């Protein structure tokens, strides 16, 4: 979020100094000005940020267990945290986009390839999703 007030600027500065001072290799910090990028409810403008964060998020993995054998297939290695200085709604928008990216990764792991359906334009999405569903149905019912 853009630092619109002295209080927001102070909070952001202290937070950033704290992260730099502690120099923890497992803590990554990315400042993103939601107001500037997503004016007029253009939430798709967070997609480049999500794509930038995608590799890091995939390295965190996720937990998966074979419920029949009890074997752990994948062990989660970390978490993603987002917060906005003044509004939970903006945090939710960003967290939802991150969750969809990770869901796409998890589904790929399970053999369901949605080919990035969550990040294409709305008018293309329905057509592409229908093709993917048809392909999955044909593979299951030849």
User: pLDDT at position 116, please?
Assistant: 67
* Residues 51/119, Cβ–Cβ less than 8 Å: yes
pLDDT confidence band for 130 (50 / 70 / 90): low
What percent of the chain clears pLDDT 90, i.e. is strictly above it?
27
Q: In sequence order, what DSSP letters do the residues of 22-39 get, joined into one string?
A: H--TT-------HHHHTG
Note the pLDDT tens digit of each residue in 30-71: 888 888 888 888 888 888 999 999 989 999 999 999 999 999
What is the pTM for the complete model shown? 0.70
- Work out the burial of residue 104: count CB atoms within 10 Å of its CB; fewer than 13 is exposed, 13-18 middle, 19 or more buried: buried
Q: Is the pLDDT of residue 2 over 80?
A: no
More reliable by pLDDT, 43 or 77: 77
Beta carbons of 56 and 128 less than 8 angstroms apart: no
- What is the reported pLDDT for 19? 93
Nearest alpha-carbon partner for 114 in 99, 126, 128: 128
Copy the structure tokens of residue 125.
């999405």
For the stretch 81-112, pLDDT in tens is 887 776 777 778 888 889 888 988 988 888 88
User: Angle 88-109/47-60 helices, nearest 10 degrees?
Assistant: 50
């Amino acid at each position: 979020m853009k630092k619109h007030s002295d209080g927001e600027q102070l909070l952001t500065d202290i937070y950033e100094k704290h992260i730099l001072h502690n120099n923890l290799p497992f803590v990554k910090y990315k400042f993103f000005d939601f107001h500037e990028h997503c004016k007029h409810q253009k939430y798709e403008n967070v997609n480049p940020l999500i794509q930038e964060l995608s590799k890091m998020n995939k390295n965190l993995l996720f937990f998966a267990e074979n419920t029949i054998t009890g074997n752990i297939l994948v062990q989660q290695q970390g978490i993603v945290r987002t917060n906005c200085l003044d509004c939970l709604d903006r945090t939710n928008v960003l967290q939802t986009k991150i969750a969809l990216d990770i869901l796409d990764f998890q589904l790929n792991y399970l053999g369901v390839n949605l080919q990035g359906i969550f990040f294409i334009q709305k008018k293309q999405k329905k057509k592409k999703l229908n093709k993917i569903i048809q392909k999955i149905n044909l593979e299951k019912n030849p």
